[in-house]
Amino acid sequence: MMDKKMLKQAQQLQAKMIKTQEELGNATVEATSGGGAITVVMSGHQEVKSIKILPEVVDPEDVELLEDMVLAALKEATQMSRELAEKKMGALTGGLKIPGF
C-alpha cells in the first residue's frame, strides 16, 4: 500500500508529465536539406507543421531528387523531435523509460 507521501509524489510527477507533453506539442524543431532548399517544421510530438520548398529546386525532369530532399528533411526533423522529447521527458523521469512517454 502506498503511503500518502508516495501518492502525492506520483501525482506531482503525473502533472509534470502532462505539462511536458503539452509543451512538446507546442515546441517545434526545424530541419533543412538541399542547402536550405527544403525546410520541415515538426512539433515535439513528431507532427509535421509545415514543409517549404524553394521553387528553383522543383525540376520536372528530376522529381526523384526533390523526393529525396523532402525525405531527408523529414527524417532529420523526426530525429530532432524525438531527441527533444527524450530530453524533456528524461529530465522528469531521471532517464527511466516509461511506456507511452
Residues 23-29 have a mean pLDDT of: 93
pLDDT score, position 6? 86
The verdict on pTM exceeding 0.75 is: yes
Q: Which CATH number fits domain 27-91: 1.20.1740.10, 2.40.10.10, 3.30.1310.10, 2.30.30.100?
A: 3.30.1310.10
pLDDT score, position 97? 59
Listed by start position, the domains of the chain span 27-91
Distance of CA 47 to the CA centre of its chain: 7
DSSP state of 100: T
pLDDT score, position 77? 97
pLDDT score, position 90? 83
Q: What is the mean pLDDT of the chain?
A: 90
Which of the four pLDDT bands, split at 50, 70 and 90, describes residue 95?
low
Half-sphere exposure of residue 71: CA atoms within 13 angstroms, side-chain side: 6
Residues 11-37 have a mean pLDDT of: 93
Q: Which residues are within 8 A (CB) of 39 and not within 5 positions of it... i.e. 6 or more apart?
A: 30, 31, 32, 50, 51, 52, 73
| In the predicted structure, residue 53 carries a pLDDT above the cut 80 | yes
Closest CA to 45 of 5, 2, 4, 101: 101
Q: Which residue has the cell 523526426?
A: 78
